[in-house]
Copies of this chain bind each other. A is one copy, B any other.
Amino acid sequence: MTDVELTTAQKETLRMEVKALGDQIRALKESKADAELIKEKIAKMLEKKKLLGDEGGGKFVLKCPKGTRDYGPKAMAIREKVLRIVTDSFKRHGAETIDTPVFELRDVLLGKYGEEGGKLIFDLADQGGELLSLRYDLTVPFARYLAMNKVTNIKRYHIAKVYRRDQPVMTRGRYREFFQCDFDIAGQYDAMLPEAECLKVIDEVLTSLDLGDFQIKLNHRLMLEGMFAVSGMKESDFKTVCSSIDKLDKVAWSEVRSELIDEKHIDQNAVDKLQKFVRIRDQNVTASNEELLKFFEKDTETGANASVKKAVTDMRLLLDYCSIYGIDKNIQFDPALARGLDYYTGAIFETVVKGYTMECQSGDDKRNGTASADEISSTNVGSVAAGGRYDNLVAMFSPKKQAVPCVGVSFGIERLFSIMEMKAESEKSTVRTTETQVFVASAQKNLLRERMKLCKLLWENDVNAEMAYKANPKMLTQLQYCEERSIPLVLIVGERELQEGVVKIRNVENRQENDVPLADLIDELRKRLACC
């Protein structure tokens, strides 16, 4: 999956070999040696050059690091809009926010993301002192924060960038530096109430973003454990079976079946038995959640399994709460939802936006550190918000192994940015990159000081205002600037206006102009800006 990347030392060796081959080729040519031999040496040199990649021959290359991007003003405007919607929802639910350093002691991250995830951690160089790594998600730093500060209950959100040395696919929204927006509820509470609020937050955010239809898939760790047990799977195969099952929304059962039997050597009878359970949603697309829960209750085997029973009770209560919150219609119980990470202990969920198609890897959010390139869906943008209950993670950091039950959701915000960018483009809507409300212009020369005085008045009255940084700007240039930037109002200062003690207000959109007495200016602007 990952292209091999060379260390500096390996590159240096290659460069020396290329140079040596170049010398040999020149010598061979000079001595008019066998053409085949020269050809062979050239091929060898080109091969090594290729390995070195598109190095600019030591020339300075002006670029962002691989897998990262700058956000220009337009991208930032969209990013801020998305983040504001997310933050507003988090605050509406009474969440506090925290922040942690961008790097952690390497030991804090070690062994938290499985074998695959661990390889993707960015390490800092050993320059003396502690060994550090860039954070891989916000969940492990959150758990470290809770354990370190002995916090046993908190509803917090955290919006920050995380880092993964993954093979980037930037067109699909997969970066090495990307945002995560996490909302988590830690504390010992009554069953399913925090879960219901997490699902309500997902519903609110996606509704506010106005992205069209979406669906929240729901399952439970104990449902998976129960189904596997009843089918005759070994407990030790839990993780590997989950990872195959999780692909069912993208590949056919036959493929998953053969992966389980032929590659992972799971007992064929167990696999075939499991089919009946994990494909139940697939084969009953229109069945209600309650109908599927009843199926598991009535089935003689799952109905007798304690794990399944607990999972059914939990999910029935959660769905009941969701109906009170008015969000049940978008939630679908799916026994095939398995998610990536190992630390879930209860309900798990994953949200898919239906309307937008985009080549996109599913799940670059925190709960899916081990997503690989083969999990790419070309039919929709994939998971945009996912999470679940993880009751044992904090104890891993606690000296006294004190457990702090947690449930949370992480928004795959990079993908939401991409969707919003696509949306803005398709609707041909103008994206404003500043919040300037008034531009102060002048039609004649030598009015710089008057423009400055007006700007001062506006700024001091909390009106966002700009003027040209020229002593004598051209009127046309000033008006063009306003139209390009969608600045709603222009104040025009002129000799006549000054003498009469008025200012001319121009509406940029309809080009109407009115004189307003200077004394009434701020009131008039407030009135006009309130309706913009």
- Interface check A296, CB cutoff 8 A: no
Q: Determine the chain B residues whose CB is within 8 A of the CB of A126 once the complex forms.
A: 7-8, 125
Q: How far is the CB of A490 from chain B (nearest CB, A)?
A: 13
A459 touches B93 (CB 8 A): yes
Q: Across the interface, do B471 and A190 meet the contact criterion of CB distance under 8 Å? A: yes
Question: Which one of B8, B61, B65, B98 lies within 8 Å of A72 (CB-CB)?
Answer: B98
Q: Does A50 contact B (CB under 8 A)?
A: no
Closest-CB distance, A91 to chain B (whole angstroms): 5
Say if the beta carbon of A1 comes within 8 Å of chain B: no
CA distance A321 to B319 in the complex (A): 65
The yes or no answer to A212 lying at the interface (CB within 8 A) is: no
Kindly identify which residue among B7, B65, B91 contacts A132, using a CB–CB cutoff of 8 Å: B65
Chain B neighbourhood of A97, CB < 8 A: 73, 76, 80
User: Is A280 at the interface (CB under 8 A from chain B)?
Assistant: no
Q: Is the CB of B325 within 8 A of A452?
A: yes
Closest to A103 in B: B65
Q: For chain A residues 128-182, which have a beta carbon within 8 Å of chain B?
A: 128-132, 134, 144-145, 147-149, 154, 156, 161, 163, 165, 177
Contact between B177 and A102, CB atoms less than 8 A apart: yes
Q: How far is the CB of A130 from chain B (nearest CB, A)?
A: 6
In the bound complex, CA of A97 to CA of B432 (Å): 11
Contact partner, A98, options B73, B101, B124, B399, Cβ 8 Å = B73
| Contact with A76, one of B79, B98, B125, B197 (Cβ below 8 angstroms) | B98
Q: Which one of B68, B92, B102, B144 lies within 8 Å of A161 (CB-CB)?
A: B102
Measured in the bound complex, the distance between the Cα atoms of B5 and A131 in whole Å is 11
Q: Is A238 an interface residue (CB 8 A)?
A: no
Name the contact of A434 in the complex, choosing from B91, B132, B434, B456 (C-beta under 8 A): B91
Contact at A60–B107, with CB atoms within 8 Å?
A: yes
CB under 8 Å from chain B, chain A span 425-468: 433-436, 449, 452-453, 456, 459, 462-466
Q: Is the CB of B100 within 8 A of A70?
A: yes
Contacts of A464 in B (CB 8 A): 91-94
Interface residues of A in 210-251 (CB under 8 A from B): none
Most chain-B CB neighbours within 10 Å: which of A92, A104, A107, A433?
Answer: A92
Contact with B along A46-76 (1 / 0, CB 8 A): 0000000000000011111110111111001
Q: Is the CB–CB distance between B129 and A122 below 8 Å?
A: no
Q: Would you call A4 an interface residue if the criterion is a C-beta within 8 Å of the partner chain's C-beta atoms?
A: yes
Q: How large is the interface on A (under 10, 10 to 19, 20 to 34, 35 or more residues)?
A: 35 or more
Chain B proximity mask over A108-124: 1 for CB below 8 Å, otherwise 0: 00000000000000111
Residue from A65, A79, A105, A194 with most neighbouring chain B CB atoms (10 Å): A65
Q: Is the CB of B434 within 8 A of A95?
A: yes
* Copies of the polypeptide in the assembly: 2
B92:A70 contact, CB within 8 angstroms:
no
Q: Is A6 at the interface (CB under 8 A from chain B)?
A: yes
Which residues of B have CB within 8 Å of A35? none
A40 within 8 A of B: no
What residues on B are CB-neighbors of A527 within 8 Å?
A: none
Alpha-carbon distance A436/B92, docked complex (angstroms) = 7
Q: Which of A63, A101, A435, A464 has the most CB of B within 10 A?
A: A101
Known: A101-B64, A456-B324. A466 touches B93 (CB 8 A): yes
A99 within 8 A of B: yes
A129 to chain B, nearest CB (A): 4
A295 within 8 A of B: no
With known contacts A126-B125, A324-B452, A324-B456, A62–B399 Cβ distance under 8 A? yes
Does A287 have its Cβ within 8 Å of any Cβ on chain B?
no
Give every chain B residue within 8 A of A130 (Cβ-Cβ). Answer: 65-66
Q: Does A470 contact B (CB under 8 A)?
A: yes
Q: Is A326 an interface residue (CB 8 A)?
A: yes
Q: How far is the CA of A432 from the CA of B139 in the complex (A)?
A: 24
For A465, the chain B residues whose CB sits under 8 A away are 92-94
Could you say which residues of chain B place their CB within 8 Å of the CB of A71?
98-100
Among A129, A326, A459: residue with most chain B CB under 10 A: A129
Contact A61 B105 (CB under 8 A): yes
Whole-angstrom distance from the CB of A11 to the nearest CB of chain B? 9
- Assembled-state Cα–Cα distance A471/B194 (Å): 12
Is the Cβ of A469 less than 8 Å from the Cβ of B434?
Answer: no
Q: A499 within 8 Å of B by Cβ?
A: no
Give A201's nearest chain B residue, CB to CB: B459
| Minimum-distance CB pairs A-B, first 5 | A5-B128, A189-B469, A94-B466, A73-B96, A68-B101
A sample of 11 inter-chain contacts (CB < 8 A) reads: A5-B129, A70-B99, A71-B98, A76-B96, A76-B97, A79-B99, A94-B436, A96-B434, A102-B161, A122-B124, A325-B456
> Besides the contacts A102-B134, A102-B161, A190-B470, what 20 more A-B pairs have beta carbons closer than 8 Å?
A7-B128, A8-B126, A60-B107, A62-B144, A63-B148, A65-B101, A65-B130, A68-B103, A70-B148, A73-B156, A76-B97, A80-B97, A92-B465, A94-B434, A94-B466, A122-B125, A122-B127, A124-B125, A324-B449, A324-B452
